[in-house]
Amino acid sequence: MLRIYNTLSRQKEDFKPIDEKAVRMYSCGPTVYSFAHIGNMRTYIFMDIFRRVLKYDGYKIKGVMNITDVGHLLSDSDSGEDKMEKASREQQKTPWEIAEFYTNIFFEDLKKLNISRPEIIAKATDHIDDMIKYVQALEEKGYGYEIDDGIYFDIAKFPSYGKLSRLSLEDQQAGARVEVNNQKHNPYDFALWKKAEPEHIMQWPSPWGMGYPGWHIECSTMSKKYLGSTFDIHTGGVDHIPVHHENEIAQSEALEGKKTVNYWVHGEFMLVNNGKMSKSLRNTYTVSQLEDMGYPAVVFRYFCLNAHYRKKLNFTFEGMDAAKVSYSRLLSALYQHKMSQEKTSEEVLAKYKKDFEDAINDDLNIPLALGVLWTMTKEKKSKDIFELALEMDKVFGLNLKDAKLDVLDAQEDIPEDIKKMAEERLNAKKNKDWATADSLRNEIKAKGYSILDSKDGYTIVKD
Ligand code: AMP
Ligand code: ZN
Protein backbone atom coordinates (compact mmCIF):
# COMPACT_ATOMS: atom_id res chain seq x y z
CA MET A 1 0.00 0.00 0.00
CA LEU A 2 1.40 3.36 -1.05
CA ARG A 3 1.66 5.98 1.67
CA ILE A 4 2.14 9.57 0.65
CA TYR A 5 2.69 12.80 2.55
CA ASN A 6 -0.25 15.14 2.08
CA THR A 7 0.61 18.82 2.52
CA LEU A 8 -3.01 19.45 3.50
CA SER A 9 -2.89 17.15 6.56
CA ARG A 10 0.87 17.40 7.14
CA GLN A 11 1.11 13.63 7.42
CA LYS A 12 1.64 10.47 5.48
CA GLU A 13 -1.67 8.97 4.40
CA ASP A 14 -2.68 5.71 2.73
CA PHE A 15 -3.22 6.39 -0.92
CA LYS A 16 -6.72 5.48 -2.06
CA PRO A 17 -7.72 6.62 -5.53
CA ILE A 18 -11.29 7.79 -6.19
CA ASP A 19 -11.60 5.50 -9.15
CA GLU A 20 -9.70 2.19 -9.33
CA LYS A 21 -9.55 2.46 -13.12
CA ALA A 22 -7.20 5.43 -13.26
CA VAL A 23 -5.48 7.76 -10.84
CA ARG A 24 -6.22 11.37 -11.77
CA MET A 25 -3.24 13.65 -11.27
CA TYR A 26 -2.59 17.31 -12.06
CA SER A 27 0.88 18.82 -12.15
CA CYS A 28 1.65 22.50 -12.45
CA GLY A 29 3.73 22.91 -15.57
CA PRO A 30 6.27 25.46 -16.73
CA THR A 31 5.90 29.08 -17.69
CA VAL A 32 7.49 29.04 -21.10
CA TYR A 33 9.08 32.45 -21.37
CA SER A 34 12.63 31.18 -20.85
CA PHE A 35 14.60 27.97 -20.29
CA ALA A 36 13.47 25.71 -17.50
CA HIS A 37 16.37 25.36 -15.05
CA ILE A 38 17.55 22.27 -13.22
CA GLY A 39 15.60 23.32 -10.11
CA ASN A 40 12.40 23.20 -12.15
CA MET A 41 13.55 19.86 -13.50
CA ARG A 42 13.95 18.47 -9.99
CA THR A 43 10.24 19.08 -9.49
CA TYR A 44 9.39 17.29 -12.74
CA ILE A 45 11.67 14.37 -11.84
CA PHE A 46 9.71 14.12 -8.59
CA MET A 47 6.44 14.14 -10.56
CA ASP A 48 7.84 11.43 -12.82
CA ILE A 49 8.94 9.26 -9.90
CA PHE A 50 5.46 9.57 -8.42
CA ARG A 51 3.91 8.50 -11.73
CA ARG A 52 6.32 5.59 -12.07
CA VAL A 53 5.62 4.35 -8.55
CA LEU A 54 1.88 4.47 -9.22
CA LYS A 55 2.41 2.52 -12.43
CA TYR A 56 4.67 0.02 -10.67
CA ASP A 57 1.86 -0.47 -8.15
CA GLY A 58 -0.45 -1.35 -11.03
CA TYR A 59 -2.43 1.87 -11.39
CA LYS A 60 -3.30 3.48 -14.66
CA ILE A 61 -2.83 7.23 -14.66
CA LYS A 62 -4.60 10.11 -16.25
CA GLY A 63 -2.13 12.93 -15.76
CA VAL A 64 -2.50 16.53 -16.85
CA MET A 65 0.17 19.20 -17.05
CA ASN A 66 -0.44 22.77 -18.05
CA ILE A 67 1.85 24.91 -20.14
CA THR A 68 1.60 28.53 -19.06
CA ASP A 69 2.02 30.24 -22.41
CA VAL A 70 -0.05 33.28 -21.54
CA GLY A 71 2.58 34.55 -19.20
CA HIS A 72 1.76 35.43 -15.70
CA LEU A 73 2.66 38.66 -14.07
CA LEU A 74 6.09 39.58 -12.90
CA SER A 75 5.46 38.65 -9.30
CA ASP A 76 2.77 36.68 -7.57
CA SER A 77 1.01 39.95 -6.96
CA ASP A 78 -1.07 41.27 -9.79
CA SER A 79 1.13 44.05 -11.02
CA GLY A 80 4.11 44.42 -13.26
CA GLU A 81 4.97 43.55 -16.80
CA ASP A 82 3.82 40.27 -18.22
CA LYS A 83 6.76 37.81 -18.27
CA MET A 84 6.01 36.58 -21.77
CA GLU A 85 5.89 40.10 -23.10
CA LYS A 86 9.12 41.05 -21.41
CA ALA A 87 10.86 38.10 -23.08
CA SER A 88 9.16 38.93 -26.35
CA ARG A 89 10.37 42.53 -26.26
CA GLU A 90 13.91 41.48 -25.33
CA GLN A 91 14.14 38.78 -28.00
CA GLN A 92 12.18 40.50 -30.76
CA LYS A 93 9.83 37.57 -31.23
CA THR A 94 6.09 37.30 -30.78
CA PRO A 95 4.99 35.84 -27.44
CA TRP A 96 3.62 32.87 -29.38
CA GLU A 97 7.02 32.19 -30.95
CA ILE A 98 8.71 32.51 -27.57
CA ALA A 99 6.27 30.09 -26.01
CA GLU A 100 6.64 27.52 -28.77
CA PHE A 101 10.41 27.71 -28.71
CA TYR A 102 10.70 27.17 -24.96
CA THR A 103 7.94 24.57 -24.86
CA ASN A 104 9.86 22.45 -27.37
CA ILE A 105 13.06 22.74 -25.39
CA PHE A 106 11.17 21.82 -22.22
CA PHE A 107 9.94 18.61 -23.85
CA GLU A 108 13.42 17.78 -25.08
CA ASP A 109 14.69 18.16 -21.52
CA LEU A 110 11.96 15.90 -20.19
CA LYS A 111 13.00 13.27 -22.71
CA LYS A 112 16.68 13.52 -21.86
CA LEU A 113 15.84 13.09 -18.19
CA ASN A 114 13.58 10.06 -18.83
CA ILE A 115 10.60 11.99 -17.46
CA SER A 116 7.43 10.46 -18.80
CA ARG A 117 5.08 13.05 -20.20
CA PRO A 118 1.68 13.32 -18.56
CA GLU A 119 -1.09 11.94 -20.77
CA ILE A 120 -2.61 15.37 -21.38
CA ILE A 121 -0.60 18.52 -21.99
CA ALA A 122 -2.84 21.55 -21.85
CA LYS A 123 -1.74 24.92 -23.18
CA ALA A 124 -3.32 27.89 -21.44
CA THR A 125 -3.88 29.73 -24.73
CA ASP A 126 -6.03 26.83 -25.98
CA HIS A 127 -8.37 27.19 -23.00
CA ILE A 128 -9.19 30.88 -22.81
CA ASP A 129 -12.92 30.33 -23.36
CA ASP A 130 -13.05 27.70 -20.62
CA MET A 131 -11.34 30.12 -18.26
CA ILE A 132 -13.78 32.91 -19.10
CA LYS A 133 -16.68 30.56 -18.33
CA TYR A 134 -15.04 29.61 -15.05
CA VAL A 135 -14.65 33.23 -14.02
CA GLN A 136 -18.27 33.91 -14.98
CA ALA A 137 -19.42 30.99 -12.85
CA LEU A 138 -17.45 32.35 -9.88
CA GLU A 139 -18.99 35.77 -10.44
CA GLU A 140 -22.48 34.27 -10.54
CA LYS A 141 -21.83 32.55 -7.24
CA GLY A 142 -20.78 35.84 -5.73
CA TYR A 143 -17.05 35.12 -5.42
CA GLY A 144 -15.86 37.44 -8.17
CA TYR A 145 -16.25 41.18 -8.52
CA GLU A 146 -15.29 43.60 -11.23
CA ILE A 147 -13.18 46.70 -10.82
CA ASP A 148 -11.49 48.98 -13.36
CA ASP A 149 -8.58 46.70 -14.20
CA GLY A 150 -10.12 43.25 -13.90
CA ILE A 151 -12.21 40.65 -12.14
CA TYR A 152 -11.01 39.70 -8.67
CA PHE A 153 -11.64 36.84 -6.29
CA ASP A 154 -13.20 38.00 -3.04
CA ILE A 155 -11.16 36.24 -0.36
CA ALA A 156 -13.52 37.36 2.41
CA LYS A 157 -16.17 35.03 0.92
CA PHE A 158 -13.92 32.00 1.36
CA PRO A 159 -13.23 31.70 5.09
CA SER A 160 -10.99 28.64 4.90
CA TYR A 161 -8.45 30.52 2.76
CA GLY A 162 -4.96 29.59 3.97
CA LYS A 163 -5.66 26.00 5.00
CA LEU A 164 -2.96 24.50 2.78
CA SER A 165 -0.12 26.75 3.91
CA ARG A 166 -1.56 27.21 7.42
CA LEU A 167 -0.49 30.82 7.27
CA SER A 168 -2.49 33.91 7.92
CA LEU A 169 -2.96 36.18 4.95
CA GLU A 170 -0.45 38.64 6.35
CA ASP A 171 2.17 35.90 6.82
CA GLN A 172 1.60 34.54 3.36
CA GLN A 173 2.05 37.81 1.67
CA ALA A 174 4.95 38.97 3.83
CA GLY A 175 7.67 39.94 1.44
CA ALA A 176 5.40 39.76 -1.58
CA ARG A 177 4.64 43.05 -3.17
CA VAL A 178 0.96 43.78 -2.92
CA GLU A 179 -0.25 46.36 -5.33
CA VAL A 180 -2.06 49.26 -3.78
CA ASN A 181 -5.37 49.25 -5.51
CA ASN A 182 -8.03 51.10 -3.65
CA GLN A 183 -10.79 49.40 -5.56
CA LYS A 184 -9.95 45.94 -4.28
CA HIS A 185 -12.15 44.84 -1.39
CA ASN A 186 -9.14 43.32 0.32
CA PRO A 187 -5.49 43.90 -0.66
CA TYR A 188 -5.01 40.12 -0.97
CA ASP A 189 -7.85 39.54 -3.42
CA PHE A 190 -6.29 38.15 -6.58
CA ALA A 191 -7.06 38.62 -10.26
CA LEU A 192 -9.17 36.04 -12.08
CA TRP A 193 -9.14 38.07 -15.27
CA LYS A 194 -7.20 41.18 -16.15
CA LYS A 195 -8.36 43.87 -18.54
CA ALA A 196 -5.64 44.55 -21.09
CA GLU A 197 -4.07 47.85 -21.98
CA PRO A 198 -4.08 48.35 -25.78
CA GLU A 199 -0.32 47.65 -26.02
CA HIS A 200 -0.67 44.28 -24.32
CA ILE A 201 0.05 41.79 -27.13
CA MET A 202 -1.70 38.70 -25.78
CA GLN A 203 -5.33 39.59 -25.21
CA TRP A 204 -8.65 38.00 -25.89
CA PRO A 205 -12.27 39.20 -26.07
CA SER A 206 -14.32 38.55 -22.95
CA PRO A 207 -17.57 39.75 -21.35
CA TRP A 208 -15.37 42.33 -19.59
CA GLY A 209 -13.73 43.61 -22.77
CA MET A 210 -10.30 42.62 -24.10
CA GLY A 211 -8.10 40.97 -21.52
CA TYR A 212 -6.21 37.89 -20.36
CA PRO A 213 -6.61 35.31 -17.62
CA GLY A 214 -4.94 35.32 -14.22
CA TRP A 215 -2.40 32.54 -13.67
CA HIS A 216 -4.23 30.61 -10.95
CA ILE A 217 -7.45 30.30 -12.94
CA GLU A 218 -5.53 28.29 -15.53
CA CYS A 219 -4.95 25.38 -13.23
CA SER A 220 -8.43 25.36 -11.70
CA THR A 221 -10.02 25.44 -15.15
CA MET A 222 -7.88 22.82 -16.82
CA SER A 223 -7.85 20.39 -13.91
CA LYS A 224 -11.66 20.50 -13.79
CA LYS A 225 -11.95 20.14 -17.55
CA TYR A 226 -9.81 17.02 -17.81
CA LEU A 227 -9.98 15.44 -14.37
CA GLY A 228 -13.42 16.38 -13.08
CA SER A 229 -14.50 18.41 -10.09
CA THR A 230 -12.66 16.18 -7.61
CA PHE A 231 -9.48 14.34 -8.46
CA ASP A 232 -6.75 12.41 -6.64
CA ILE A 233 -3.39 14.16 -6.72
CA HIS A 234 -2.06 17.64 -7.33
CA THR A 235 1.72 18.16 -7.51
CA GLY A 236 4.03 21.15 -7.72
CA GLY A 237 7.01 22.74 -6.04
CA VAL A 238 6.80 23.96 -2.43
CA ASP A 239 6.95 27.57 -3.59
CA HIS A 240 3.43 27.15 -4.95
CA ILE A 241 1.89 26.21 -1.61
CA PRO A 242 1.25 29.69 -0.21
CA VAL A 243 -0.14 31.68 -3.12
CA HIS A 244 -0.77 29.67 -6.25
CA HIS A 245 -2.21 26.52 -4.71
CA GLU A 246 -4.03 28.41 -1.99
CA ASN A 247 -5.69 30.45 -4.74
CA GLU A 248 -6.45 27.35 -6.77
CA ILE A 249 -8.17 25.80 -3.75
CA ALA A 250 -10.16 29.01 -3.18
CA GLN A 251 -11.37 29.10 -6.79
CA SER A 252 -12.10 25.39 -7.17
CA GLU A 253 -13.77 24.84 -3.81
CA ALA A 254 -15.77 28.06 -4.13
CA LEU A 255 -17.13 26.83 -7.44
CA GLU A 256 -17.72 23.20 -6.50
CA GLY A 257 -18.73 23.70 -2.89
CA LYS A 258 -16.59 20.70 -1.87
CA LYS A 259 -13.03 19.41 -1.57
CA THR A 260 -11.55 19.17 -5.04
CA VAL A 261 -8.13 17.56 -4.50
CA ASN A 262 -7.51 14.62 -2.17
CA TYR A 263 -3.71 14.64 -2.02
CA TRP A 264 -1.58 17.76 -2.35
CA VAL A 265 2.00 16.63 -2.82
CA HIS A 266 4.91 19.07 -3.07
CA GLY A 267 8.54 18.70 -4.02
CA GLU A 268 11.20 20.60 -2.07
CA PHE A 269 13.50 23.08 -3.69
CA MET A 270 16.89 22.67 -5.23
CA LEU A 271 19.42 25.21 -3.96
CA VAL A 272 22.68 26.35 -5.51
CA ASN A 273 25.57 26.63 -3.08
CA ASN A 274 22.94 26.63 -0.35
CA GLY A 275 21.20 29.69 -1.77
CA LYS A 276 18.11 30.32 -3.81
CA MET A 277 18.18 29.32 -7.46
CA SER A 278 15.99 31.32 -9.72
CA LYS A 279 15.78 32.63 -13.21
CA SER A 280 15.74 36.18 -11.90
CA LEU A 281 18.94 35.66 -9.86
CA ARG A 282 20.69 34.27 -12.95
CA ASN A 283 22.38 31.51 -11.00
CA THR A 284 20.62 28.72 -12.80
CA TYR A 285 21.81 25.97 -15.10
CA THR A 286 19.91 24.13 -17.78
CA VAL A 287 20.12 20.44 -18.63
CA SER A 288 21.95 21.31 -21.86
CA GLN A 289 24.50 23.40 -20.01
CA LEU A 290 25.22 20.48 -17.69
CA GLU A 291 25.63 18.22 -20.70
CA ASP A 292 28.10 20.66 -22.22
CA MET A 293 30.05 20.54 -18.97
CA GLY A 294 30.28 16.75 -19.21
CA TYR A 295 27.36 15.73 -17.02
CA PRO A 296 24.87 13.59 -18.95
CA ALA A 297 21.20 14.25 -18.12
CA VAL A 298 20.88 10.80 -16.55
CA VAL A 299 23.65 11.70 -14.08
CA PHE A 300 21.61 14.73 -13.01
CA ARG A 301 18.62 12.45 -12.58
CA TYR A 302 20.73 10.10 -10.46
CA PHE A 303 21.94 13.08 -8.41
CA CYS A 304 18.31 14.07 -7.73
CA LEU A 305 17.23 10.53 -6.84
CA ASN A 306 19.76 10.42 -4.04
CA ALA A 307 17.74 12.97 -2.07
CA HIS A 308 14.19 12.44 -0.84
CA TYR A 309 11.75 14.72 -2.64
CA ARG A 310 10.74 16.44 0.62
CA LYS A 311 14.30 17.38 1.49
CA LYS A 312 16.10 20.40 0.11
CA LEU A 313 18.83 19.40 -2.33
CA ASN A 314 21.92 21.53 -2.65
CA PHE A 315 23.36 21.56 -6.15
CA THR A 316 27.15 21.70 -6.35
CA PHE A 317 29.56 20.49 -8.98
CA GLU A 318 31.34 18.40 -6.34
CA GLY A 319 28.02 16.68 -5.78
CA MET A 320 27.60 16.15 -9.50
CA ASP A 321 31.11 14.71 -9.80
CA ALA A 322 30.35 12.28 -7.01
CA ALA A 323 27.06 11.34 -8.72
CA LYS A 324 28.88 10.76 -11.99
CA VAL A 325 31.38 8.38 -10.40
CA SER A 326 28.75 6.60 -8.37
CA TYR A 327 26.42 6.15 -11.35
CA SER A 328 29.22 4.81 -13.45
CA ARG A 329 30.16 2.31 -10.72
CA LEU A 330 26.57 1.22 -10.49
CA LEU A 331 26.48 0.46 -14.20
CA SER A 332 29.77 -1.32 -13.92
CA ALA A 333 28.62 -3.47 -11.01
CA LEU A 334 25.43 -4.34 -12.84
CA TYR A 335 27.31 -5.22 -15.99
CA GLN A 336 29.06 -8.01 -14.16
CA HIS A 337 25.70 -9.43 -13.18
CA LYS A 338 24.46 -9.00 -16.71
CA MET A 339 27.33 -11.11 -18.07
CA SER A 340 26.95 -13.84 -15.49
CA GLN A 341 25.20 -17.13 -16.19
CA GLU A 342 24.72 -17.89 -12.51
CA LYS A 343 21.41 -17.92 -10.65
CA THR A 344 20.29 -16.37 -7.36
CA SER A 345 17.81 -18.10 -5.09
CA GLU A 346 14.15 -17.06 -5.17
CA GLU A 347 14.24 -16.17 -1.47
CA VAL A 348 17.14 -13.76 -1.85
CA LEU A 349 15.54 -12.09 -4.88
CA ALA A 350 12.16 -11.84 -3.13
CA LYS A 351 13.74 -10.13 -0.16
CA TYR A 352 15.35 -7.43 -2.30
CA LYS A 353 12.13 -6.96 -4.22
CA LYS A 354 10.19 -6.52 -1.02
CA ASP A 355 12.70 -4.07 0.46
CA PHE A 356 12.57 -2.07 -2.75
CA GLU A 357 8.77 -2.00 -2.81
CA ASP A 358 8.57 -1.05 0.86
CA ALA A 359 10.89 1.87 0.19
CA ILE A 360 9.14 3.28 -2.86
CA ASN A 361 5.73 2.90 -1.22
CA ASP A 362 6.87 4.72 1.89
CA ASP A 363 6.34 8.24 0.60
CA LEU A 364 8.48 7.60 -2.48
CA ASN A 365 11.67 6.88 -0.55
CA ILE A 366 13.89 6.58 -3.59
CA PRO A 367 17.22 7.11 -1.75
CA LEU A 368 16.39 4.06 0.34
CA ALA A 369 15.34 2.09 -2.75
CA LEU A 370 18.67 2.98 -4.38
CA GLY A 371 20.37 1.68 -1.25
CA VAL A 372 18.58 -1.64 -1.76
CA LEU A 373 19.79 -1.75 -5.35
CA TRP A 374 23.36 -1.03 -4.27
CA THR A 375 23.31 -3.75 -1.61
CA MET A 376 21.91 -6.15 -4.16
CA THR A 377 24.79 -5.49 -6.56
CA LYS A 378 27.19 -6.80 -3.89
CA GLU A 379 25.61 -10.27 -4.09
CA LYS A 380 27.32 -13.11 -5.94
CA LYS A 381 27.23 -12.26 -9.67
CA SER A 382 24.07 -13.49 -11.29
CA LYS A 383 21.87 -12.70 -14.24
CA ASP A 384 18.81 -12.78 -11.96
CA ILE A 385 20.15 -9.79 -10.04
CA PHE A 386 20.49 -7.89 -13.27
CA GLU A 387 16.93 -8.78 -14.27
CA LEU A 388 15.60 -7.58 -10.92
CA ALA A 389 17.57 -4.34 -11.28
CA LEU A 390 15.83 -3.78 -14.60
CA GLU A 391 12.48 -4.29 -12.89
CA MET A 392 13.46 -1.67 -10.32
CA ASP A 393 14.56 0.62 -13.09
CA LYS A 394 10.92 0.96 -14.15
CA VAL A 395 10.81 3.32 -11.17
CA PHE A 396 14.33 4.75 -11.21
CA GLY A 397 14.46 5.45 -14.95
CA LEU A 398 18.27 5.31 -14.93
CA ASN A 399 18.91 3.40 -18.17
CA LEU A 400 20.26 0.43 -16.21
CA LYS A 401 19.79 -1.83 -19.21
CA ASP A 402 22.78 0.00 -20.71
CA ALA A 403 25.00 -1.34 -17.94
CA LYS A 404 28.59 -1.28 -19.10
CA LEU A 405 31.98 -1.43 -17.62
CA ASP A 406 33.57 1.51 -16.00
CA VAL A 407 37.16 0.65 -16.85
CA LEU A 408 38.65 2.77 -14.09
CA ASP A 409 36.45 1.23 -11.50
CA ALA A 410 36.89 -2.33 -12.64
CA GLN A 411 40.67 -2.13 -12.87
CA GLU A 412 41.06 -1.05 -9.27
CA ASP A 413 42.73 -3.52 -6.91
CA ILE A 414 43.73 -5.95 -9.64
CA PRO A 415 47.10 -7.58 -8.79
CA GLU A 416 49.95 -6.97 -11.19
CA ASP A 417 50.41 -10.65 -12.14
CA ILE A 418 46.78 -10.87 -13.20
CA LYS A 419 47.11 -7.71 -15.29
CA LYS A 420 50.23 -9.17 -16.91
CA MET A 421 48.49 -12.44 -17.78
CA ALA A 422 45.58 -10.49 -19.22
CA GLU A 423 47.97 -8.54 -21.48
CA GLU A 424 49.60 -11.79 -22.59
CA ARG A 425 46.18 -13.20 -23.35
CA LEU A 426 45.34 -10.16 -25.45
CA ASN A 427 48.55 -10.61 -27.44
CA ALA A 428 47.80 -14.31 -27.88
CA LYS A 429 44.37 -13.38 -29.21
CA LYS A 430 45.87 -10.86 -31.61
CA ASN A 431 48.17 -13.62 -32.86
CA LYS A 432 45.18 -15.92 -33.20
CA ASP A 433 46.80 -18.24 -30.69
CA TRP A 434 43.48 -19.32 -29.26
CA ALA A 435 44.86 -22.19 -27.20
CA THR A 436 47.20 -19.90 -25.21
CA ALA A 437 44.48 -17.28 -24.87
CA ASP A 438 42.07 -19.85 -23.46
CA SER A 439 44.55 -21.34 -21.06
CA LEU A 440 45.50 -17.88 -19.75
CA ARG A 441 41.85 -17.10 -19.27
CA ASN A 442 41.43 -20.30 -17.24
CA GLU A 443 44.50 -19.54 -15.19
CA ILE A 444 43.17 -16.07 -14.39
CA LYS A 445 39.80 -17.56 -13.52
CA ALA A 446 41.46 -20.02 -11.14
CA LYS A 447 42.99 -17.06 -9.32
CA GLY A 448 39.55 -15.55 -8.80
CA TYR A 449 39.31 -13.05 -11.66
CA SER A 450 37.42 -12.85 -14.92
CA ILE A 451 38.23 -11.22 -18.20
CA LEU A 452 35.34 -9.44 -19.83
CA ASP A 453 36.00 -8.76 -23.48
CA SER A 454 34.61 -5.68 -25.10
CA LYS A 455 35.02 -4.08 -28.46
CA ASP A 456 37.77 -1.78 -27.27
CA GLY A 457 39.73 -4.37 -25.34
CA TYR A 458 38.89 -6.11 -22.10
CA THR A 459 38.33 -5.49 -18.43
CA ILE A 460 39.38 -7.56 -15.47
CA VAL A 461 36.90 -8.06 -12.66
CA LYS A 462 37.13 -9.84 -9.35
CA ASP A 463 34.75 -12.80 -9.18
P1 AMP B 1 7.75 27.94 -13.03
O2 AMP B 1 8.04 27.71 -14.48
O3 AMP B 1 8.54 29.05 -12.43
O4 AMP B 1 6.26 28.06 -12.76
O5 AMP B 1 8.25 26.64 -12.23
C6 AMP B 1 7.95 25.35 -12.67
C7 AMP B 1 8.03 24.38 -11.51
O8 AMP B 1 9.34 24.35 -10.95
C9 AMP B 1 7.10 24.71 -10.36
O10 AMP B 1 6.46 23.51 -9.93
C11 AMP B 1 8.01 25.26 -9.29
O12 AMP B 1 7.50 24.99 -8.02
C13 AMP B 1 9.29 24.48 -9.54
N14 AMP B 1 10.52 25.16 -9.10
C15 AMP B 1 10.90 26.43 -9.31
N16 AMP B 1 12.12 26.67 -8.78
C17 AMP B 1 12.55 25.50 -8.23
C18 AMP B 1 13.74 25.07 -7.51
N19 AMP B 1 14.76 25.89 -7.27
N20 AMP B 1 13.78 23.79 -7.08
C21 AMP B 1 12.77 22.93 -7.33
N22 AMP B 1 11.64 23.26 -7.99
C23 AMP B 1 11.52 24.53 -8.44
ZN1 ZN C 1 -0.69 25.52 -11.25
Residue nearest to atom 9 of ligand 1 (CA): 237
pLDDT higher than threshold 60 for residue 177 = no
Distance in angstroms (rounded) separating the CA atoms of residues 261 and 20? 16
Pairwise pLDDT comparison (226 vs 409), residue with the higher score: 226
Does ligand 1 have an atom closer than 6 angstroms to the CB of 242? no
Distance in angstroms (rounded) separating the CA atoms of residues 20 and 62? 12
> What average pLDDT does this structure show over 1-28?
97
Does ligand 1 have an atom closer than 6 angstroms to the CB of 304? no
Q: Within 13 Å of residue 257, how many CA atoms lie on the same side as its CB?
A: 3
- pLDDT score at 406: 66
pLDDT higher than threshold 80 for residue 452 = no
Query: How much distance in Å is there from the Cα of 456 to the middle of ligand 2?
Result: 50
- pLDDT score at 152: 96
Does ligand 1 have an atom closer than 6 angstroms to the CB of 35? no
Pairwise pLDDT comparison (454 vs 255), residue with the higher score: 255
pLDDT higher than threshold 60 for residue 458 = yes
Does ligand 1 have an atom closer than 6 angstroms to the CB of 39? yes
What is the secondary structure of 323-390 as a DSSP string?
HHHHHHHHHHHHHHHHT------HHHHHHHHHHHHHHHHBT--HHHHHHHHHHHHTSSP-HHHHHHHH
Distance in angstroms (rounded) separating the CA atoms of residues 279 and 384? 46
pLDDT tens by residue, 188-222: 899 999 998 877 788 999 999 999 999 899 999 99
**Could you tell me what percent of the chain has a pLDDT over 90?**
74
pLDDT higher than threshold 90 for residue 58 = yes
pLDDT higher than threshold 70 for residue 176 = no
pLDDT higher than threshold 50 for residue 75 = no
- pLDDT score at 167: 80
Query: How much distance in Å is there from the Cα of 281 to the middle of ligand 1?
Result: 14
Query: How much distance in Å is there from the Cα of 356 to the middle of ligand 1?
Result: 29
Does ligand 1 have an atom closer than 6 angstroms to the CB of 27? no
Residue nearest to atom 6 of ligand 1 (CA): 30
Does ligand 1 have an atom closer than 6 angstroms to the CB of 206? no
Distances (CA, A) of 351 to 92, 133, 346, 358, 389: 59, 54, 9, 10, 13
- pLDDT score at 456: 59
> What average pLDDT does this structure show over 10-35?
95
SS3 195: strand
Whether the CB-CB separation of 166 and 241 falls below 8 Å is answered with no
* pTM of this structure: 0.87
Q: Within 13 Å of residue 442, how many CA atoms lie on the same side as its CB?
A: 6
pLDDT higher than threshold 80 for residue 268 = yes
Query: How much distance in Å is there from the Cα of 40 to the middle of ligand 1?
Result: 4
Q: Counting atoms of ligand 1 from 1, which one is nearest the CA of 277?
A: 19
Query: How much distance in Å is there from the Cα of 67 to the middle of ligand 2?
Result: 9
Whether the CB-CB separation of 176 and 289 falls below 8 Å is answered with no
pLDDT tens by residue, 323-365: 998 999 899 999 999 999 999 999 999 999 999 999 999 999 9
Give CA torsion, residues 291, 297, 299, 301, to 10 deg. Answer: 150
- pLDDT score at 278: 72
